Chains A and B, each alone.
Chain A
Amino acid sequence: MIEAFQTLQFYFTNYPFVRYAFIVGLLISLCSSLLGVTLVLKRFSFIGDGLSHVAFGAMAVATVANLTNQMAIVFPVTVLAAILLLRTGQNTKIKGDAAVAMISVGALAIGYMLINVFSKSANVAGDVCSTLFGSLSILTLKASDVWLCVIMSIIVITLFLLFYHKIFAVTFDESFAAATGLRTNAYNLLIAVITAMIIVLAMNLVGSLLISALIIFPALSAMRLFRSFKAVIICSAVISVLCAAFGIILSILCSTPVGATIVCADIVVFFVFSLTAKLTGRTE
């Protein structure tokens, strides 16, 4: 135990990238858990998945084009996809889930194709793997990446707090919210844009395949035990941040992949919460 603590202290004091990874990891997990509850309840869980694949495709384009600032292309493309997905959700020509599936696998295929055909890197498989599972990229963060992440997180959290009650109303009952004069389309758009922001941020941490887990698991765990919206949100934020901290520390100590370790911690919490809910008779 003391040995593990000393190892951690060594890493944290001697390697700035470990500190960066820790800060970024906690912020991202906090942001993703806030929106997660709304996305799960609105039956939008897969939009997160779809968008992350779009972000992967955009990242591939940016890599191939040799852009130094990949965010410049990844972020706008993902936001655009979020808006598109939301619009097709209301359109009846292609049903919501089909549209998400189409865009998500389409972007994944195109992204992989581009990297394979055009990449000058010697280790194509490694590049793809780290983009999909985020195993390495979090440890290569620069100070500027951390600042970008901090600023985006502050924006996400502020927006969420400012519009908390409206997001609740739109999530619980869109037709009532619209009837009282709330611009529900604008709030749905806001939710989609914030989701896109979180996904672009989280790609560094857990990679594009595992982002959905970060969004969904804390929310689902919290929903097992808590009965008010506020309690669910707070609990899900706490779970998410603790799991991220635990996952990052464990991955440093045991040299496991960061993203996968965090998600595994989330899964364990989910089962513990489900079991507790069963034992205390809190499930219906």
Chain B
Amino acid sequence: MSEHTEIDEGIISLRNESVPVTQVVVRDASLGYENLVVTEGLNFGISAGDYLCILGENGSGKSTLIKALLGLKSQIAGEIQWYGGLSGKDVGYLPQQTVVQRDFPASVREIVRSGCLASMGWRPFYNKAEKQLAEEKMQRLGISEFADRCYRELSGGQQQRVLLARALCAAKKMLLLDEPVTGLDPKAQNDLYELIEGLHQEGITIIMVSHDVGAALKYATHILHIGSQRQLFFGTKADYLQSDVGEGFIASQGGEQA
């Protein structure tokens, strides 16, 4: 931390309307399990209002990176530094759907409210403010009419909106979305992307793990591309389009997109 103090203070002192506020900085991080390094040399930063898209093939360590950002797994080397009182717990997480959830008997309201758990501590029941927050988020994502419906009866797109509402109850500043459009039809995919873009416009930082280059290039402000065991690119979208990595990857994915 010591050698970075000057920079860190510089970053923190720059907090005003026009200059982006740094929320998290990852420096020389290596991630993996006891003896197995999944990915190393990660260097990137995320500021308030960014829309970062993390690209990479399967097995490139995307899910390990997610765990590290959420604070569920500590890095082998390097550091992940949070600013402005944030931590991995303040990230609203939209995980991939599990088998268990497909036939789970729970109402939409119950699921959205469970996003408020973190603020409860030892208190066993939700208070008024938390219930109110859940209603607001359901309203925002247009799922109020489903509030009493059963989760398993909803369409894939509606289910993702429920989980997104839950994530918004858990975090106000940052969302981490893990392959959010997997399994949705093109229309529902597009709707969800637009909804996420709407949240981004409201000032929420978005981190999206995806292998959908098309969406990444359309919506993201920054791109982090990780290859096997190392970081290939981090920077703004404009820079990515100019880079060899970007050009190569877009060309290789281009066939699928067309």
Contact = CB atoms under 8 A, between A and B. Distances in A.
A77 B167 CA distance: 40
A175 to B, nearest CB: 4
B118 A181 contact: yes
Given A181-B89, A229-B110, A42 B100 contact: yes
A166 B125 CA distance: 10
Contacts of A163: 124
A171 B117 CA distance: 13
Given A179-B70, A181-B89, A229-B110, A161 B124 contact: yes
Contact of B98 (A166, A173, A180): A173
Interface stretch (A23-31, A188-196, A204-212, A220-228): A220-228
A230 to B, nearest CB: 7
A43 B117 contact: no
Given A165-B125, A229-B107, A230-B110, A175 B95 contact: yes
Interface in B102-118: 104-107, 110-111, 113-115, 117-118
B149 interface: yes
A35 to B, nearest CB: 15
Interface in A62-101: none
B151 to A, nearest CB: 8
Contact of B126 (A165, A180, A284): A165
A228 B93 contact: no
Nearest to A224: B105
Contacts of A230: 107, 110
B72 A232 contact: no
B89 A41 contact: no
A228 B118 contact: no
A179 B93 CA distance: 7
Contact of B166 (A166, A175, A176, A178): A176
Given A41-B100, A162-B124, A173-B95, A228 B105 contact: yes
A182 B152 contact: no
Contact of B114 (A41, A169, A228, A232): A169
Given A181-B89, A228-B105, A172 B153 contact: no
8 contacts: A41-B100, A165-B113, A165-B117, A177-B114, A179-B70, A181-B118, A228-B148, A230-B107
Interface of A: 41-43, 161-166, 168-169, 171-173, 175-182, 223, 226-232, 284
Interface of B: 70-72, 88-89, 91, 93, 95, 98, 100-101, 104-107, 110-111, 113-115, 117-118, 120, 124-126, 148-150, 152-153, 163, 166-167, 170, 176
